[in-house]
């Protein structure tokens, strides 16, 4: 789950207003490492993608094309057919 900032920002890619530090269209590196809920690795890469997460990809952002396992991590998610 992305860290929350106190001041909202506008994503330069999709125009969404967000307080999430790791908004996925234009992610900001987290201030501290986090543990991936799929593989358990500790990382600071906001675009970390592991084999375990790839198996759960079910959504694509309609604006930037980014893939994700959870709709809430994308600004304009669309479920991938057959996922």
H or E segment and range at residue 18: strand 17-20
Question: What confidence score (pLDDT) does residue 6 get?
Answer: 67
Question: What confidence score (pLDDT) does residue 51 get?
Answer: 94
CA–CA dist 54, 33 (Å, integer): 21
Its pTM surpasses 0.75: no
Instruction: From first to last of the 83 residues of the chain, give the pLDDT tens digit.
Output: 455 556 787 777 677 777 765 555 666 677 789 999 999 999 998 888 899 999 999 999 887 788 888 888 887 889 999 87
Quickly tell me which residue has 């309609």 as its tokens: 62
Question: What confidence score (pLDDT) does residue 42 get?
Answer: 96
Give the residue extent of every domain in the chain.
Answer: 4-79
């Amino acid at each position: 789950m992305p860290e929350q900032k106190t001041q909202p920002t506008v994503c330069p890619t999709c125009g969404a207003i967000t307080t999430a530090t790791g908004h996925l269209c234009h992610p900001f590196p987290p201030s501290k490492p986090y543990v991936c809920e799929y593989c358990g690795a500790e990382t600071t890469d906001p675009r970390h993608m592991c084999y375990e997460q790839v198996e759960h990809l079910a959504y694509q952002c309609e604006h930037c094309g980014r893939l994700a396992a959870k709709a809430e991590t994308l600004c304009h998610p669309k479920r991938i057919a057959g996922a």
